[in-house]
A and B are shown apart, each in its own frame.
Chain A
Amino acid sequence: MVEIRVDRDVCDGLGQCALVAPEVFALDDDERLVVAPEVPDGLAGKVAAAVRACPVRALVVEGA
C-alpha cells in the first residue's frame, strides 16, 4: 500500500506534481494540494516522478 505524505510547511501549491500525476494530485481553488486517498494500481512510477518534480521536495512516498 503506497502512502503519500505532504510536508504542509514546505508545500506552496506550485502544482508540479499535479502536472505529472493528475490522477493522484490536484490543487484546490486556494492552490492547496489535494492528494487522492488511494493511489490507483500501476501508478507507482508516475507518483515517483511527481515526487521528483517537486521543487521543494515536499512529498514523501512510503511503503512503495
Chain B
Amino acid sequence: MTEVVDLAELASTAGLEQELGRLAKRHGIIRTRQLNGQETWTVLGAALTRELLSDPRLSNDVHTHAPHGALVPGMAVMLLEQDDPDHARHRRLVSAAFASRAVRQLEPRIAEITDQLLDKLGDRGTADFIEEFTYPMPLEVICELLGVPAEDRDPFRQWAMDISAAPSLEAMQSAAAELFGYCIGLIGAKRERPTEDLLSELIAARFEDGSALSDEELSSFAAVLLIAGHDTVTNLLANALHDLLAHPEQLAALRADPSLVGAAVEEALRFRGSAMTTVNRVALEDVEAGGVVIRKGELVRFLLNAANRDPEVREDPHAFDLGRATAQHLSFGVGPHFCLGQRLARQEATIALTEILRRFGTLELAVPAEEVRWLPSDAIRGLVELPLRYER
C-alpha cells in the first residue's frame, strides 16, 4: 500500500465524505499522515471498524506502549488514553451523570438555555449560528454540569479549536497545556470550597480500596469532559443544520412531521458526524486485518466518517435520508470506549433542532453554498461558521 492520505488537506472540502466512501470501498485500512507528520494506519471500512474497535490487541494506553502517539506528551487523557480495568474504573465514576435518567432530568434546563439563546437572535434576520447558538448551548450545559464558572469561559473556544482542529502540533500542545493548567486551578478551588457539581463529586469520590483521584487525574478528567462535552455537539449541530438545509425535501419532511427529529439526529450523525477520527490505538502484537499486518507498536486510528459512508454496509451511502432510521452508524464508536456523552449529545441535538425549526419558518444559508468553509482538521468535522438567514 503506497498511497498516504493527508486527511487535514482533504477535510477542508465539502466532498470529504464522498472521497472517504470511495476510499472505504477499495481499502478497509489505509496509511494516513497525522498532524505531527508521522504516518499511521487508519481504518475506513465499517466491518473492520466494528471488529478492531473491540479488539483487545489494540490498546488506548499509548503513553505506556507508544508515547509518540499520545495527544499530548506526558499527559495521559483520562478515559481516552486508558485501557480497562483503569478505564472502566474511572468511567464508572462519571457514568451515572451521563446515564439515561440523569440526562432526562437535564431536559428542562437544556430547553431553557436553548430558548434564551434563540430569543437573543431576535429579528436581526441573519446570524452565525455557530457563534450564537451551537457553540454556547452545549458549553453552558457542560459547564453547569461540571461546575465551571461563567466568567472563566472566554478562552475555551480557542482552546477547543486549537485542540480539535489544530492548525499545528505546537498550537495543539500549547492549548492543551493551558487548558490543563486552568483545570488544575479549578480543581484546587473546588477542593477548598466544594460546590454541587460533578467535579466536586469526583474530588470526593473514593474507589473500593479507599483511594481517591490525584489532582493530575482530576484535571485530566475535567479537561476531557469540558472539551469533548461541548465541541462535538457544537459541530454536530452545525453540520446537521447545514445538511438539512442542503436537502430541502428532507427538511420539508421533518417540518411536516416533527416526530421525525430522532431520525434526523441519527442521520445527521451518520452523514457527517463531528468526532470524525478516534484517538490513536497501538498494536500490542502483530495484528492481521483487512489484508495488511499492523506490526506490534504501530499506531492505528479509526475514521468513523468513512465507515459511515462504506457502500458495503449501506445502500446509497451519500444520500441524506431520514427514512433510514434503523441504520446503525458508528459515530459514537463501539465497544468499551463507546461515547460516554452520547445520550446527552442526542438529547441536546434533539431539543435544539426541534426548537430551531419550530421558531423559524424560514431558515436558509446566508452565503452561497460553495462559500461555506470547512475546518481543515483531521480530527473534528465541522464548519468554520454557519451564517444563516432566519425569519419567524
Contact = CB atoms under 8 A, between A and B. Distances in A.
A14 B338 contact: yes
B99 A12 contact: yes
Contact of A56 (B50, B54, B91, B100): B91
A55 B338 contact: yes
Interface residues of B, number: 17
Contacts of A20: 54
A49 interface: yes
Interface in B311-354: 334-338, 340
A52 B99 contact: no
Nearest to A52: B56
A10 B96 CA distance: 8
Contacts of B338: 14, 16, 55
B100 A16 contact: no
Tell me the interface secondary structure of chain A in the complex.
loop
B85 A57 contact: yes
Contacts of A14: 338
A56 B87 CA distance: 8
Interface in B26-58: 50, 54, 56
Nearest to A7: B92
Interface string A1-36: 000000000101110100110000000000100000
B92 A53 contact: no
Nearest to A16: B338
Contacts of A31: 100
Interface string B76-99: 000000001100100110010001
Given A10-B95, A52-B84, A57-B88, A16 B336 contact: yes
A39 interface: no
B100 A53 contact: no
B336 A54 contact: yes
A49 B88 CA distance: 15
Nearest to B56: A52
A25 to B, nearest CB: 14
Contact of B334 (A10, A12, A16): A16
B54 A57 contact: no
A17 B86 CA distance: 19
B238 to A, nearest CB: 26
A13 B101 CA distance: 11
B340 A55 contact: yes
B50 A57 contact: no
Nearest to B99: A12
Contact of A12 (B84, B100, B335, B336): B100
Nearest to A31: B100
B335 A16 contact: yes
B88 A55 contact: yes
A23 B50 CA distance: 17
A53 B54 contact: yes
A20 B84 CA distance: 18
Contacts of B335: 16, 52-53, 55
A55 B100 contact: no
B95 A53 contact: no
A10 B336 contact: no
B334 A55 contact: no
Contacts of B337: 55
A31 B335 CA distance: 17
A49 to B, nearest CB: 6
Contacts of A19: 50, 334
Interface of B: 50, 54, 56, 84-85, 88, 91-92, 95, 99-100, 334-338, 340
15 contacts: A10-B95, A19-B334, A52-B54, A53-B336, A54-B88, A55-B95, A55-B336, A55-B337, A55-B338, A55-B340, A56-B88, A56-B92, A56-B95, A57-B85, A57-B92
- The 6 residue pairs across chains A and B that have the minimum distance between CB atoms: A57-B88, A12-B99, A53-B335, A55-B338, A53-B54, A55-B336
